[in-house]
Structure 1
Amino acid sequence: MEEHIFNIEGLTHQFADGTFAIKDLSLTVQQGKKIALLGNNGAGKSTLFLHLNGLLQPTSGTIRYKGKKIKYDRKALLSLRKQVGIVFQDPDSQLFSANVQQDISFGPMNLGWERNVVHEKVQWAMAQTEVTELKDRPTHFLSLGQKKRVAIAGVLAMEPDVWLLDEPTAGLDPYFSRQIMALLDSIHHPDKTIILSTHDVNLAYQWADEVVVMNDGKVIYQGDPVSVFHDEAVLMRAHLEKPWVFEMFQALLQSRIPAEKNLVPRTKEELLRKIQRERIY
C-alpha cells in the first residue's frame, strides 16, 4: 500500500483583505511521486506550497504530514522544514547571506550537522547545480538564473524528503532548465517526493508521474499526465494548452498511424521512434 505523505482536507486560506487564495481544497499526495502542479495565475499554487512547508497557517481545514497533523509551534515547524524543502519562484525571497557558499551552508548548519558534513554536502550541491565557480560571489551580484540555481543548491544540500519547487525553470536558459530537470530525476527515488509548479505543459507532460490542476483555489483534476489533456473542460477552466507531442500524436492518429492508440508518447524521442516504426513520412 502506497503511503500518503500529505493528506489535505478542507484547506481554506483567506488573506487579511478578505481574498480567498484557497477554498475548501482536499488533496492526497503519495510518497515517491513526481507531481506537476498546473494552473493559471492566481489559481493558488504558491499559496498551497507555503502551507505544505508551514510558512502559512490555514484559515480552516487540516494538513497531515506522514499521518500527523501539522502543528505550528517552533519545534514542530523546525522538524517539518527539515523534511520539506521549498524553492521559491523568486530567489531573492530565499537568498540573504553574504556570498553563495554561505547561503547554501545556512540550511545544513541549522540542521546541527558536523562542520565537515556540512562542507561535504555544500560542495556536492554546488557541483550538482554548477555554481561552484560562484561560491565567493555576493548573491546580489548574480543573474536571475544563477540565483535560481543557488536557491536550489541550498535545498539540495539539506536532502529533504519532500521537494516543493515553485516554477524552478522560469528564468533559466534551455541548457540549465534541462540540467535542473535532470538533477531532479537523479535525486528522485521511492523515498523522495517532488512537487513542482509550472506553466510549462510540455515539461509537466514529459516529466511527471501525476498532474494536479488548480483553478480558483481548488483542485479540479488529479491523475495521470495523459488523461488530463483529453479533458477539454479542465483545460478550458485552467487556461491550459496541450503539449506539442500530445497534439502531434493526435494529428498523426487521425491520419496515418493505425495502432497502439493507448500508448501515447510523452517525449520527442518516443514520438520519433513511433513515427519511424510506423514509417510515417
Structure 2
Amino acid sequence: MEEHIFNIEGLTHQYADGTFAIKDLSILIQQGKKIALLGNNGAGKSTLFLHLNGLLQPTSGTIRFKGKKMKYDRKALLSLRKQVGIVFQDPDSQLFSANVQQDISFGPMNLGWDRNVVHEKVQWAMDQTEVTEMKDKPTHFLSLGQKKRVAIAGVLAMEPDVWLLDEPTAGLDPYFSRQIMALLDSIHHPDKTIILSTHDVNLAYQWADEVVVMNDGKVIYQGDPVSVFHDEDILMKAHLEKPWVFEMFQALLQSRIPGEKELVPRTKEELLQKIETEKIY
C-alpha cells in the first residue's frame, strides 16, 4: 500500500482582501511521486505550496503530513520545514545572506548539523547547481537565473523529504533548465517526493509521474501525464496547450489506426524512435 505524504481535506484559504485562493480542495499526494502542478495564473498553485510548507494556515479544512494533522506552533513548524523544502518562484523572497555560500549554509546550520557536515553538504549542493565559482559573490549582484540556482542549492543542502518548487526553470536558459531537471531526477527516489508548479506543459509531460491541474482554487484533474491532454474540457478550463511531442504523435497517427495499447511517446527521443521503428509517417 502506497503511503500518502499529504492528505488534504476541504482546504479553503481566504486572503485578507476577501479573495478565495483555494476553495474546498481535497487531494491525496503519494510519497515518492514526481508531480507537476499545472494551471493558469490565479489558479491557486502558489497558495497551495505555502500551505504545504506551513507558511499559510487554512481558513478551513485540514492538512495531514505523514498521517499527522499539521500544527502551527514553533516546534511543529520547525520539524515540518526540515522535511518539506520550498523554492519560491521569486528567488529574492528566499535569498538574504551576504554572499552565496552563507545563504546556502543558513538552512543546514539551523538543522543543528556538525560544521563539517554542513560544509560537505553545502559544497555538494554548490557543485550540483554549478554555483561554486560564485560562492563569495553577494547575492544581490546575481542574475535572476543565478539566484534561482542558489535558492535551489539552499534547499538541496538540507536534503528534505519533500521538494516544493514554484516555476523552478523560469528565468533559466535551456542549459541550466536541463541541468536543474536532471538534478531533480538524480535526487528522486521512493522516499523523496517532488512537486513542481510550471506553465511549461512540455516539461510536465516529459518529466512527471503524475499531473495535478488546478483551476479557480480547485483540483480539476489528478492522474497520469498522458490522459489529461486527451481531455479538451480540462485543457480549455486551465488554459493549457498540448505538448508538442503529444501533438506530433497524434498527427502522425491520423494515417493509421493505433494499437489497443498504443504507447504514447513523452520525449523527443521516444518519438523519434517510434517513427523509426514503426514507420509512422
Normalising by the residue count of structure 2, what TM-score does the alignment of the two structures yield? 0.99
Is contact 2:22-2:216 (8 Å) kept? yes
Question: In 1, Cα distance between the equivalents of 2:202 and 2:28?
Answer: 24
Is contact 1:11-1:58 (8 Å) kept? yes
Residue deviations 1:40-82 (CA, integer Å, cap 9, x gap): 0000000000000000000000000000000000000000000
Question: In 1, Cα distance between the equivalents of 2:251 and 2:127?
Answer: 42
Q: Please, which moves more after superposition, 270-279 or 148-157?
A: 270-279
Normalising by the residue count of structure 1, what TM-score does the alignment of the two structures yield? 0.99
Q: Please, which moves more after superposition, 106-115 or 257-266?
A: 257-266
Residue deviations 1:189-216 (CA, integer Å, cap 9, x gap): 0000000000000000000000000000
Is contact 1:253-1:261 (8 Å) kept? no
Is contact 2:202-2:244 (8 Å) kept? yes
Deviation at 1:258, TM superposition (A): 4.9
Which runs of 5 or more structure 1 residues have no equivalent in the other structure? none
Is contact 2:37-2:45 (8 Å) kept? yes
Residue deviations 1:203-230 (CA, integer Å, cap 9, x gap): 0000000000000000000000000000
Q: 1:258 to 1:83 in 2, by over 3 A?
A: closer
- Equivalent residue runs for 1:1-281 within 5 Å: 1-256=1-256, 258-259=258-259, 262-281=262-281
Residue-pair matches, total? 281
Question: In 1, Cα distance between the equivalents of 2:42 and 2:90?
Answer: 16
Question: In 1, Cα distance between the equivalents of 2:12 and 2:184?
Answer: 30
Deviation at 1:240, TM superposition (A): 0.3
Question: In 1, Cα distance between the equivalents of 2:258 and 2:156?
Answer: 45
Q: Please, which moves more after superposition, 257-266 or 142-151?
A: 257-266
Deviation at 1:278, TM superposition (A): 1.8
Question: In 2, Cα distance between the equivalents of 1:255 and 1:143?
Answer: 48
Q: Secondary structure at the match of 1:86?
A: strand
Which runs of 5 or more structure 2 residues have no equivalent in the other structure? none
Question: In 1, Cα distance between the equivalents of 2:220 and 2:280?
Answer: 37
Is contact 1:34-1:195 (8 Å) kept? yes
Question: In 2, Cα distance between the equivalents of 1:110 and 1:86?
Answer: 16
Deviation at 1:261, TM superposition (A): 5.5
Is contact 2:253-2:280 (8 Å) kept? no
Question: In 1, Cα distance between the equivalents of 2:267 and 2:274?
Answer: 11
Q: 1:268 to 1:71 in 2, by over 3 A?
A: same
Deviation at 1:262, TM superposition (A): 2.4
Q: Secondary structure at the match of 1:85?
A: strand
Q: Please, which moves more after superposition, 142-151 or 259-268?
A: 259-268
Is contact 2:9-2:24 (8 Å) kept? yes
Question: In 2, Cα distance between the equivalents of 1:197 and 1:16?
Answer: 24
Question: In 1, Cα distance between the equivalents of 2:273 and 2:34?
Answer: 25
Question: In 2, Cα distance between the equivalents of 1:183 and 1:190?
Answer: 16
Deviation at 1:259, TM superposition (A): 3.8
Is contact 1:257-1:280 (8 Å) kept? no
Residue deviations 1:168-192 (CA, integer Å, cap 9, x gap): 0000000000000000000000000
Question: In 2, Cα distance between the equivalents of 1:256 and 1:28?
Answer: 39
Deviation at 1:239, TM superposition (A): 0.3
Question: In 2, Cα distance between the equivalents of 1:210 and 1:258?
Answer: 24
Is contact 2:34-2:208 (8 Å) kept? yes
